[in-house]
A and B are shown apart, each in its own frame.
Chain A
Amino acid sequence: MTTFAADAGTWRAKARKYRAIARANVQNSLAYAWDALTPGIFVTIFIFIFAQIWKVTFASQNTNVINGLTLNMTIWYFVWAELVQLSKIDPVTTIQNEVKDGSLAYTLGRPYNYVLYHFFHGLGGVGIRLVSVLAFGSFVAGTQAGLLASFRLEVMPLVLFVTVLAFVLDYCIMAMIGLLAFFFEDVMAFRFIYSKITFVLGGLLIPVDFLPDTVQSIARVLPFNLVVYAPSKLFVAWDWEQFGFVVIMQFFWIGVMAGLLTLFYRYGVKRVTINGG
């Protein structure tokens, strides 16, 4: 007869549980480590093209600084923006597939929090993509614009902290979209809309500082800029005041979104139907 661990039910046992879930996905992604080249190749092409566009833009404006960002900072901004975008957790596809192929019968029936399970499962796949995007992105940005002139090693842990919060916030939104699969099965259209909002208002297409004033004022009150723009901007242009504001706003929106996500999950799990006999 198997016995439960002496600390079963405690936070320590739960922490071990979620760490094991993340570790299993690290192992899983290492089985096909070459897959991580895909975001690396994508970021190479993307940064190269954007570097050419922004070189022309700065030249045509005949200036070294646009809205507080130099060409060097702008190109490195996109490295960090793509790092977030291409490495972040994607629970939408995973949950949708679970609903479609019926494997939800397993993932929903285990002794863990389903939403946290997907977070840590996804987190396990982040590391390898992060390394790939950072390596390829930095190489191209370095060749196109030189090293980041405003780089400050001492604030990097804080930039990483904001980036982690950005991942959590994005996960809350993406998980809500994923949970829509409990009602609609196919939710790619919702994800497409969210990705386009992030693209424009989140600072993935251009830094929010470059948007027209009206659009900028809308973008700054919405949570989307806190996912891509905020950590990327702090990476290239560190500002203590801005850091404090970003962290407060991130915590605020994470609280709101996590609350909504919990309600969403409780509502959805009562109504979900599981495909297959």
Chain B
Amino acid sequence: MQAVRLHNLKKTFKLKRKAPGLMGSIRSLYKPEWNTVEAVKGISLEIEQGELLAFIGPNGAGKSTTIKMLTGILHPSEGEAEVLGYVPYKQRQQLAYHIGAIFGQKPQLWYHLPPIDTFELFAHIYELDYTAYQKRRDFLVEALQIQDFLETPVRKLSLGQRMRCEIASSLLHAPKILFLDEPTIGLDVIAKQHLREAIKTLHEEENLTIFLTSHDVGDVEALCKRVVIINHGQVIFDDKTSALKRQYLTHKIIGVRFGREIPEDFSVRDAELLKRGTWGAKIRLDTSIRPVDDLIMALMSYAPVVDLTIEDPPMEEVIREIYTAQESIHLNHKEQQEVPA
């Protein structure tokens, strides 16, 4: 069953443009100039119930705008959207009973109240059966390990503690889809790990559809089987996470440690020497230029090899490359458009 279906979804905003300085401010009063910004330019997407999907892209790519259209709080300028069979912007209130959302940079828990008070409030807002709510709350408290600070005012919680409570509050009504907009932003390594484990457990145990946006590639690697990358409001990649690596991984990082010291002028043909030490080196090899086995043979014939590692580049690097490539295409396109006929 499809949880989300988007067809050619678009959102444009009108932004006021103001020239710098005082005169610019005055002129904008009587002669305002507007720019039309296409935040989302025709996204089409289908998400199955129970999928955990990463929706990533650089800042300003249109991720949050898309989430806001999916949750019904922004009206699309064009196109169609369907979430759990509801049209979000027309049936926002009905849909709200079945979805949860976390906007990582914005708190939804009441600042001066302990999380348990906000939970009680949400139980009433979502019109939950009280006994069922208590059971659900206890389950989430256990799953997210928040029992120790359930009665502490939110203002006294650490960001990691608060984030876990935010997630619990969004799941009290057992939504079928959870929209997570940068849930790990600002968290330390341990807190991120805890949160990822909790998200994974809830996803697996409840067949919860999760729509995750994040700038942290670790979130994507740890949680998601499918990645959708958007840039400039358009989908530029939509496939399995493993396919992302396969498709874009054209090089390997090879670490070698020799049985003897290597000279200062040590170099490698058709590969990039990233780092050179007394006993070894780190090499970046483009496998389309030179096969891995060829390089390894060459290294082994150079000197006795004590240790050898072959690694894929970090996912972060892969995504950075995609963004950069897309960015240059976008700039070229823009320049071509600006050239007078």
User: In the complex, A209→B172 CA distance in Å?
Assistant: 55
| Residue pair B64, A28 in contact (C-beta under 8 Å) | no
Asked if A212 lies at the interface with its beta carbon under 8 angstroms from chain B, I say no
| Residue pair B113, A27 in contact (C-beta under 8 Å) | yes
Asked if B108 lies at the interface with its beta carbon under 8 angstroms from chain A, I say yes
| Residue pair A16, B105 in contact (C-beta under 8 Å) | no
Could you tell me the distance in whole angstroms from the C-beta of B77 to the nearest C-beta in chain A? 11
Partner of B153, one of A14, A31, A111: A31
What's the A-B contact tally at a CB cutoff of 8 Å?
115
User: Which residue on A lies nearest to B133, using beta carbons?
Assistant: A2
| Residue pair B124, A17 in contact (C-beta under 8 Å) | yes
Asked if A131 lies at the interface with its beta carbon under 8 angstroms from chain B, I say no
User: In the complex, A103→B101 CA distance in Å?
Assistant: 12
| Residue pair A274, B68 in contact (C-beta under 8 Å) | yes
User: In the complex, A16→B68 CA distance in Å?
Assistant: 28
Asked if A150 lies at the interface with its beta carbon under 8 angstroms from chain B, I say no
Asked if B42 lies at the interface with its beta carbon under 8 angstroms from chain A, I say no
Asked if B126 lies at the interface with its beta carbon under 8 angstroms from chain A, I say yes
Q: Fill in one digit per residue for A242-268: 1 if any B CB lies within 8 Å of its CB, else 0.
A: 000000000000000000000000000
Residues of chain A within 8 A (CB-CB) of B128 are 2-5, 8
Q: Which of B89-97, B225-233, B290-298 contacts A (4 or more CB under 8 A)?
A: B89-97
Within 8 A of A (CB), among B102-150: 103, 105-108, 110-113, 117-118, 120-121, 124-130, 132-133, 135-136
Asked if A193 lies at the interface with its beta carbon under 8 angstroms from chain B, I say no
User: In the complex, A16→B126 CA distance in Å?
Assistant: 11
A109-B73 contact in complex given A16-B124, A28-B113, A276-B106, C-beta closer than 8 Å: yes
Asked if B59 lies at the interface with its beta carbon under 8 angstroms from chain A, I say yes
| Residue pair A27, B117 in contact (C-beta under 8 Å) | yes
Interface size on A, residues (CB 8 A): 40
Asked if A101 lies at the interface with its beta carbon under 8 angstroms from chain B, I say yes
| Residue pair A111, B93 in contact (C-beta under 8 Å) | yes
Asked if A68 lies at the interface with its beta carbon under 8 angstroms from chain B, I say no
User: In the complex, A23→B110 CA distance in Å?
Assistant: 12
Could you tell me the distance in whole angstroms from the C-beta of A198 to the nearest C-beta in chain B? 27
Asked if A56 lies at the interface with its beta carbon under 8 angstroms from chain B, I say no
| Residue pair A105, B129 in contact (C-beta under 8 Å) | no
A1-B174 contact in complex given A28-B113, A105-B106, A106-B103, C-beta closer than 8 Å: yes
What are 22 A-B residue pairs whose CB atoms fall within 8 Å in the complex?
A1-B174, A2-B132, A3-B129, A4-B126, A5-B129, A14-B127, A20-B121, A20-B125, A24-B113, A31-B112, A101-B106, A105-B68, A106-B108, A109-B72, A109-B73, A111-B97, A272-B73, A273-B13, A274-B73, A276-B64, A276-B103, A276-B105
Q: Which residues of B contact A (CB under 8 A)?
A: 13, 59-60, 63-64, 68, 71-75, 92-94, 96-97, 101, 103, 105-108, 110-113, 117-118, 120-121, 124-130, 132-133, 135-136, 153, 172-174, 182
Additional pairs, 9, CB under 8 Å, beyond known A109-B73, A111-B97, A272-B73: A2-B173, A3-B128, A3-B129, A5-B129, A17-B125, A24-B120, A28-B111, A111-B93, A272-B74
